[in-house]
Amino acid sequence: MFTLAHLSDPHLSGWPLPQPQELLSKRVLGFFSWQLRRRFIHRQSVLDRVMADLAQSQADHTVVTGDIINISLPQEFANAAAWLQRIGPPDRVTVIPGNHDRYIALPWSKHLALWDAYMTGDDQPIPASGTDRDAARFPFLRRRGPMALIGVSSAEPMPYNSAAGHVGPDQLGRLANMLGALEAEGRFRVVLIHHPPQGRATHERKALIDASAFRDVVAQKGAELVLHGHTHRAHLDHIPGPRHRVPVLGVPSASARPHGDKPAGGYHLYRVTRANQGWDLEIETRGLPRQGAGLETTGRFRLASQPV
Ligand SMILES: [Fe+2]
Ligand SMILES: [Fe+2]
């Protein structure tokens, strides 16, 4: 059995006030959104409890599906690198970026490069510093136990007031090739993508622009599981695959207090076992109760392969 932990959207707090010149961009909107609203939702105290529970979970590997930070300030990238080390070493933790991690256009080498060791495939050398590699590095592939973890980036700098995502045809072409080859290996293929790829998962302003092209790739090549963040909710949906429907799972923000109709912080555990003709997937959702200090199991269920 292989246990994969999934957390997302910690939107780390504790970053210093930006310099005025750092706000001469879309960042100014995100900064005021943080000051007026989001800092009361994303709490270090919640994230600490989630992290403590995760440390006890005996997961073999952890994936973080983006939005680690908020407005892509240099100090936020550095804070996030230290936070990732708290989860575990890079060979046991896999990260993909979210829209808040590419809030504005910045040189990769000075910002996201700080997380490179967590976003690099097994056969992919970490580029020398100063090298800007952007979409070309995705999707990356890591093999762990029976699993193939495929990191897709839907994070692209977007205009003011847009939190949309975009994967692009080049990345989708490489994803199709990868999924085909991994099926021949008999791997449990997990695709990681920040924006939910299923239809109508979120408002158009926040949606994955090329979601239908992504779904076409999965419909042709298949995958065993798709994991996303971005919505700050637990979701279970399905998209078509070539033989079976492919489960798509979203997870609450790892740092959130309950707000509106969105739940308190939590994460998921996926336990994968080889079964006679395929795989057995057990899903355990862990979350903070309305009262009480520690996390509890909020759901546990099994998924069987379902015909299209
Ligand atoms: Fe988010
Ligand atoms: Fe997001």
pLDDT tens digits for range 45-97: 999 999 999 999 999 999 999 999 999 999 999 999 999 999 999 999 999 99
Low-confidence residues of the chain: pLDDT under 70: 127-135, 292, 305-308
Ligand closest to 232 (CA) is 1
Ligand closest to 165 (CA) is 2
Cα separation, 262 vs 267, whole angstroms: 14
Residue type, 279: W
State yes or no: cis peptide before 139, omega within 30 of 0: yes
Ligand closest to 233 (CA) is 1
**What pLDDT score was predicted for residue 123?**
82
| 8 CA from centroid of ligand 1 (Å) | 8
From residue 170, alpha-carbon distances to 138, 194, 213 in Å are 9, 18, 12
Ligand closest to 205 (CA) is 2
**What pLDDT score was predicted for residue 307?**
52
| 126 CA from centroid of ligand 1 (Å) | 27
| 162 CA from centroid of ligand 1 (Å) | 13
**What pLDDT score was predicted for residue 263?**
86
User: Is-contact 146 274, C-beta < 8 A?
Assistant: yes
**What pLDDT score was predicted for residue 305?**
63
**What pLDDT score was predicted for residue 306?**
53
Cα separation, 28 vs 23, whole angstroms: 5
Determine whether 248 is exposed, middle or buried from the number of CB atoms within 10 Å of its CB (0-12, 13-18, 19+).
Answer: buried
| 11 CA from centroid of ligand 1 (Å) | 7
Among 190, 196, 184, 194, CA closest to 271 = 190
Protein residues with C-beta less than 5 angstroms from the ion ligand 2: 67, 98-99, 230
**What pLDDT score was predicted for residue 134?**
66
Q: Quick check: helix, strand or coil at residue 302? A: strand
Q: pTM for the whole thing? A: 0.96
